[in-house]
Amino acid sequence: MSNPLFRSIPSVNDLLETQPLRDLVDRANRTVVVRGVRTFLDKLRDEVKQTTQNWQVPSPADLAQTIADWIREEERPTLRPVINATGILLHTGLGRAPLAEEAIRDMSAIAGGYTSLEVDLETGERSQRVQAVERLLRHVTGAEAAAVVNNNAGATVLALAALAGGREVIVSRGHLIEIGGNFRLPEVMSASGATLREVGTTNKTRIADFATAIDESTGALLKVHPSNYVISGFTEQPTLAELVALGKERGLPVIDDIGSGALLDFQRFGLAGEPIAQESVAAGADVVLFSGDKLLGGPQCGILVGRRESIDKISKHPLMRALRVDKLTLAALAATLRLYEDESRALRSIPLLALLSAPVDNLRNRAERLAPQLAALPAVAAAEPVSDETFLGGGALPTQVIPTWCVALNPARRNATEFAAALRVGSPSVFVRIKEQRVMLDLRAVFPGQDQALVEAVAALTPAERAQGESAEVGG
């Protein structure tokens, strides 16, 4: 039974003759546009079927424009650059660490062609794909050997499987953490084929607890940095040095998952207590694990450094093949690590470190300059510079605040949540934080070169309607 209303819907061919869709065919490609029109009309017919009231067919011109806008939206890449005005420097939802220019340059230099990935340029023979990066990791961390995999969760599974598969791994109950995104240590351990042997209590574990748990089934001792939470008060955990001494005495490898991968002391930014990779290596851990895209400020990857014997076992494990990284990651990681060979260069060139180093007075100046520009925009009722505090994010140093400056906005005719949503879908897309009903544009993670784009993003918002009720008000 055909609905009579269907006949008033223009045909695909008629729609393709309209200006908006002809323009789109010129700019995009015909197949995409035709598919888009068909899909849209199917949806429209479904809607018509479900409507009981009188349904008004839009004019062909209006319908064509709506379809063209819809197709354009559908065809936009889902991975888009965004401005991070949340203040959270390692925002997992926004891709954690931005890459240094040097890393981007080296990635693009090799992306479009063939590379010397598995060929030793001198001998012409195959060589380890991580050879160059491994050398850099050894230099930077002081370790005997290194390996790189897809992320730190992968590094953990691999290290446990290679060093303690089928055996027990002893870990403190205070270290059985969950990192965001379903990384729960007990589950990761069971995926590796190692058996979890918990010792101590949530707040107190002593080296003696580890010592008494060791038996013939023990494969390794594990220490995990509880990156995203702190236990304070009546607490105790064995030091890495104690675990290393115990491991040596009993012939067991010690795995130290330090998480964030700081390669320099973050105390300089006022952030205390983050383990440094070099120190774990120096303290004698057999394997030290960390992420590449947290405090290191490089690409997503998991890094394993430590003793040659342990790293060799890890590199030869079949899971290594499943978790290995691609040439782009290796290029970006190598370029980032090279920056660490000169600390002042690292601080300047690695975006995370540069953003953290920005003096609070610079942020204040920028906030003071931006506030009047933003206050003058139609979507904004009021804007003022305010000092505030933010966090590192990415599951690192959850309790330590970083001083910052924001522009605090009172939207015109929207509430803060509606304003934030409008900015998110705008172009460029901007992510903000909300505090006490105000929209906070936090400058800590906004690159100075993005200030103008931030103003433009807010300028592009109409002083629009509240979400429901009133009709749209265009322009302004």
Ligand X SMILES: *Cc1c(COP(=O)(O)O)cnc(C)c1O
- Cα-based angle 382, 384, 389 (whole degrees, multiple of 5): 130
CA distance 375 to 370: 9
Q: Does the protein bind ligand X through residue 227 (CB under 6 A)? A: yes
Please say which residue, 237 or 450, places its beta carbon nearer to ligand X.
237
Q: Find the farthest-apart pair of alpha carbons in the chain and give their distance in angstroms, rounded.
A: 86
SS3 call for 65: helix
Which span sits near ligand X by CB under 6 A: 128-136, 146-154, 317-325, 368-376? 146-154
Which span sits near ligand X by CB under 6 A: 145-153, 423-431, 443-451, 461-469? 145-153
As measured in angstroms, the least distance from the Cβ of 348 to ligand X is: 25
Q: Does the protein bind ligand X through residue 224 (CB under 6 A)? A: yes
As measured in angstroms, the least distance from the Cβ of 436 to ligand X is: 31
From residue 277 to residue 296, the character string flagging contacts with ligand X as x (rule: CB under 6 A) and all else as - is --------------x-----
SS3 call for 264: coil
Binder of ligand X out of 10, 298, 302, 385 (CB under 6 A): 302
Q: Are strands 183-184 and 178-179 parallel, antiparallel or unpaired?
A: antiparallel
As measured in angstroms, the least distance from the Cβ of 122 to ligand X is: 33
SS3 call for 215: coil
Please say which residue, 20 or 292, places its beta carbon nearer to ligand X.
292
Q: In sequence order, what are the beta bridge partners of 148?
A: 303
Q: Which residues of 53-92 are buried (b: 16+ CB within 10 A; e: fewer)?
A: eeeeeeebeebbbebbeebeeeeeeeeeebbbbbbbbbbe
Please answer whether residues 27 and 70 qualify as being in contact, where contact means their C-beta atoms are separated by less than 8 angstroms. no
Tell me how many residues contact ligand X (CB under 6 A): 15
CA distance 276 to 177: 19
Structure tokens at 280: 């774990």
Binder of ligand X out of 172, 260, 329, 336 (CB under 6 A): 260
Please answer whether residues 83 and 446 qualify as being in contact, where contact means their C-beta atoms are separated by less than 8 angstroms. yes
As measured in angstroms, the least distance from the Cβ of 136 to ligand X is: 19
Which span sits near ligand X by CB under 6 A: 34-42, 61-69, 158-166, 255-263? 255-263
Q: Does the protein bind ligand X through residue 225 (CB under 6 A)? A: yes
Q: Does the protein bind ligand X through residue 259 (CB under 6 A)? A: yes
Residues 152-171 that bind ligand X (CB under 6 A): 152-153, 156
Q: Does the protein bind ligand X through residue 395 (CB under 6 A)? A: yes
Binder of ligand X out of 18, 84, 86, 151 (CB under 6 A): 151
Q: Does the protein bind ligand X through residue 18 (CB under 6 A)? A: no
Q: Does the protein bind ligand X through residue 179 (CB under 6 A)? A: yes
**Residues, the chain, total?**
476
R_g of the chain computed on alpha carbons: 28
Alpha-helical runs (H) found in 51-116: 60-75, 101-111
Please say which residue, 67 or 90, places its beta carbon nearer to ligand X.
90
First-to-last C-alpha distance (Å) of the chain: 47
As measured in angstroms, the least distance from the Cβ of 280 to ligand X is: 12
Phi-psi region of 182 (alpha: psi -120 to 50; beta: other; left: phi over 0): left
Which span sits near ligand X by CB under 6 A: 61-69, 138-146, 151-159, 348-356? 151-159
Please say which residue, 179 or 356, places its beta carbon nearer to ligand X.
179
As measured in angstroms, the least distance from the Cβ of 223 to ligand X is: 10
Which span sits near ligand X by CB under 6 A: 148-156, 196-204, 407-415, 440-448? 148-156
Which span sits near ligand X by CB under 6 A: 65-73, 149-157, 277-285, 468-476? 149-157
SS3 call for 105: helix
Q: Does the protein bind ligand X through residue 192 (CB under 6 A)? A: no
SS3 call for 454: helix
Please answer whether residues 169 and 195 qualify as being in contact, where contact means their C-beta atoms are separated by less than 8 angstroms. yes
Burial of 275 (0-12, 13-18, 19+ CB in 10 A): buried
Binding residues (CB under 6 A) for ligand X: these are 151-153, 156, 179, 183, 224-225, 227, 257, 259-260, 291, 302, 395
